[in-house]
Structure 1
Amino acid sequence: MKQLRLLLLPFSWLYGAVLFIRHFLYDKGFLKSTSFNKPVIVIGNLIIGGAGKSPMTEYLIRRLSDHYHLATLSRGYGRKTKGFIKVDTGSTAEEVGDEPLQFKKKFPDITVADCEDRVKGLKNLLPHHDLCLLDDAFQHRALRAGLAILLFDFSSLKKWKFLIPAGNYRDLFSRRYHADILVVTKSPEVMSDRDREEAMRALRLKKPIPVFFSFIHYSKYIYTLSGERLTIPIGATFLVIVGIANPTSFIDYLRSVGKVSKVLTYRDHYRYVESDVDKIKKNWLMLGADTIIITTEKDAMRLNDPSLGLVLEGLPIYYLPIEIAFHHEVKKMHFDAVLTEKLRKLSK
């Protein structure tokens, strides 16, 4: 596999040259970037796959919604609709995308919207809001953000930093210098000084940028698709259904609290159909009625589709919510304090 990736390096270099020219044209003003007079926060990452943008967005919503009339804007990946659309709690993942629907269901009092053209979306939202959060918009150079938060998956820092197709980077590693805050996500919950030092070496920062380390905090409750809550039974047996970019930490956690008997994996943003539910049911019956069918919150948005209502009846499907938490930083510098100070400067 490594040898194959080496053969693909010329294509990565070509892709890198295209990216370099694109960024140069934006940096020099040959291509237009639009800015706004209200705070716009973009959250992004440089690699393909999940770095925790959705939990980071939810963290910001929790911290900022009491102080700002805020909105979130997403592309709405996987939706069948086009253009600007506001998300309702009664929307489906097919209409608005799984992540925007998850935001709206968890935070029904905020405005959640989709628009593949971020500038157009902001022009619709900012006249009526104080602040807007954009997930996965770091590469959207047509927009000049007020504050850019760039995420790096802890485990990915140890891997090659090659562009696709030889590596997993979709943008130049040098773009980290254009972020206002760096967050190393999915770091160990118990983090040693050595873990921190190795991550900082991998980031290879030659100028000061605030760097923070976060980890995943799993809920002690699981929820049915209709929202009923249950404490995870001690020693539970799980049939895991997962369709996210990087399911490793999710599966590892379930193994730490119970027995994972079977894992059915699907691609990120996969749209479940009746045949998938039939397969899930068949596996559940083989494992026994005491087995809990467990999935991620994002997958639950797609499974909870009206078209699957009848075939899902009788299946004990639960989802496990997650949040992120930050490690206490050296020199008592905390993410919330840095965020507050940067937003204060933006609002002047």
Structure 2
Amino acid sequence: MFPIVPIYYLVTWLRNKLYDLGIKKSVSYDFPVICVGNLSVGGTGKTPMIEYLIHLLKDEYKVATLSRGYKRKTKGFQLADKNANAASIGDEPFQFFSKFKNDILVAVDSDRRNGIQNLQQNNPDVILLDDAYQHRKVKAGFNVLLTTYANPYFKDIVLPTGNLREPRIGVKRADVIVVTKCPKVLSENEKNDIIKHINPNENQHVFFSSIVYSDCLFSVEKTKMIEEFESFTLVTGIANPKLLVGFLEAKHLNFEHLNFKDHHEFSEQDIDELNKKQLIVTTEKDFMRLKQYDSLKDKLFYLPITVKIDDEPKINKLIKDFVKR
């Protein structure tokens, strides 16, 4: 597939150039719109970053999230309500709604312009765009770009041989660059080396974040400490489960791992197989798709995660200052 790389590069570069020159039009807004996205295909930690921003802003502002709603069964604009589920709005938006439904608005629309226009009828103070970095029809006021420690964008190339959705130069549109999924201990030398490769502009800020796993597992009705699980089946349908597997292995837990592709749609055959398992641990995103099955209710638990950013006061101030402006 490598011979296709230059063609893909040229097409995506030209598309971005047309937007940069104003030949293709981007719509900007007179209220805060924050975009969280990446250059690569999946697995950078957008969902926990959106949740970080929700926690940061929800007590002071009316927050709305707008996602594409990947693999949902509906079309067009959908505003989450009491009837929402993973099939109607997608697993990640349903996760936002399940956790914050009394505090925020959650909407999906593949057309972000149309989604924002519809959300405006509900008068949000700030809109968080989930995975919209390449959606150039909308010009967010503030862009948060994520790239992983294990596979940073500056060591990658564009599709189809690499994982980049657009050329590396796209990083220059970001206001904040967060290197995600870092080791808990990251030396200043390592940070400086990564920053050197990123080569940020004067107006860009680089941060480093790591994943923090909960000590508790949750089901629809129960909460248990992770140490209570002597043997279980781990079910994942995420882009990269390596960190989760490593976390569980470090605790010397006994488990088998059923690894599905990202956003996997569980079939009846899959559910039949899972029904044979005595205890199942999964990610919060996968839990949103699996909890609808009553047969799994008493055996299905998820392990929540949060992100810890190396300089939280600074990034929090940058975000809040933008919203105030």
Pairwise TM-score range, normalised by the shorter structure: over 0.9
The alignment partner of 1:334 has SS state of helix
C-alpha spacing 1:260/1:31, structure 2 compared with 1 (3 Å): farther
1:48 to 32, 41, 44: 41
1:203 to 198, 201, 223: 198
CA contact (8 A) 1:74 1:136 kept: yes
Instruction: Give the corresponding residue for 1:293.
Output: 280
1:335 to 304, 309, 315: 315
CA distance in structure 2 between the partners assigned to 1:18 and 1:159 by the alignment: 19
- TM-score in terms of structure 2 length: 0.94
Instruction: Give the corresponding residue for 1:143.
Output: 138
1:18-73 deviation line (CA, Å, top 9, x unaligned): 01111111111111111111100010001112100000000000000111111111
1:251-285 deviation line (CA, Å, top 9, x unaligned): 11111224243100111111112211222233x3x
Dislocated runs of 4+, deviation >6 Å? none
Deviation (angstroms), 1:341: 2.2
Instruction: Give the corresponding residue for 1:261.
Output: 255
CA distance in structure 1 between the partners assigned to 2:94 and 2:250 by the alignment: 29
1:318 to 289, 301, 312: 301
2:5 to 9, 12, 16: 12
CA distance in structure 1 between the partners assigned to 2:224 and 2:131 by the alignment: 32
CA distance in structure 2 between the partners assigned to 1:235 and 1:194 by the alignment: 39
Give unpaired runs (5+ residues) of structure 1.
1-7
CA contact (8 A) 2:153 2:168 kept: no
Give the partner amino acid of 1:338.
Answer: L
CA distance in structure 2 between the partners assigned to 1:173 and 1:276 by the alignment: 39
Give the partner amino acid of 2:8.
Answer: Y
Instruction: Give the corresponding residue for 2:243.
Output: 249
CA distance in structure 1 between the partners assigned to 2:111 and 2:154 by the alignment: 32
1:177-216 mapped onto 2 (5 Å cutoff): 177-205=172-200, 207-216=202-211
Give the partner amino acid of 2:322.
Answer: K
The alignment partner of 1:156 has SS state of coil
CA contact (8 A) 2:282 2:302 kept: yes
1:236 paired to 2:230: yes
- TM-score in terms of structure 1 length: 0.88
C-alpha spacing 1:38/1:227, structure 2 compared with 1 (3 Å): farther
Give the partner amino acid of 2:111.
Answer: D
